[in-house]
Amino acid sequence: MKKTLPLCTLVLLFALSGQAIAGANTAQLKCTGSHAGEALTLVGDVPASIVEVDLKLSYRGQTIRLASPQAETSESTDFRRGIYRVEAVLPGSNRLQLQAKPKSIKYKGSMGGGKLNASFGAVLKDAPEPFGSALKGAELSCTYAYEI
C-alpha cells in the first residue's frame, strides 16, 4: 500500500521553507520557571522537522505527559524572525500552547547547518488539565537544542 504525506505534513514543510530540513530529527526543549511560588517545568522532545512530540509538564508535584500519537502537535519555528510556538492538543479540547516572546529570542546556528541552539523567554498561553487556567500566562525561560 502506497503511503502519502498528510496535508499537515506538507503545510509544515512549506512553513519551514526558510530553513532547510536536514533529516527527520527532534529538538530538545527545556523550559523552567516558577508560578505562584511553585516550580514549573516543560521538558522533552519537540519536532524539529517531521517527528513526534514527547513533552512533560510538571507543576506542584504533578506531571502530565504530552506525547504522540495521543497529542496532536504543531510548531512554528523561525528564530530569525522571532517566532517560536508549540502546541499539543489532547483529546477533549485539552491543550498546551507555549509561545516565545519575540524580542527575547537569541540563537546560534541553523537547522540547515545541522545544529541550532536558542534561548528565549516564553509564555504558556494555554495549559492542559488539571493545570488549566492556573498556569495560563505563566512565564518560563527556555532553551532549544537541535543537532543532526
Q: Are 56 and 43 contacting, i.e. CB atoms less than 8 angstroms apart?
A: yes
pLDDT of residue 68: 81
What confidence score (pLDDT) does residue 122 get?
Answer: 98
**In the chain, which residues have pLDDT < 50?**
1-23
Q: What is the 8-class DSSP label of residue 54? A: E
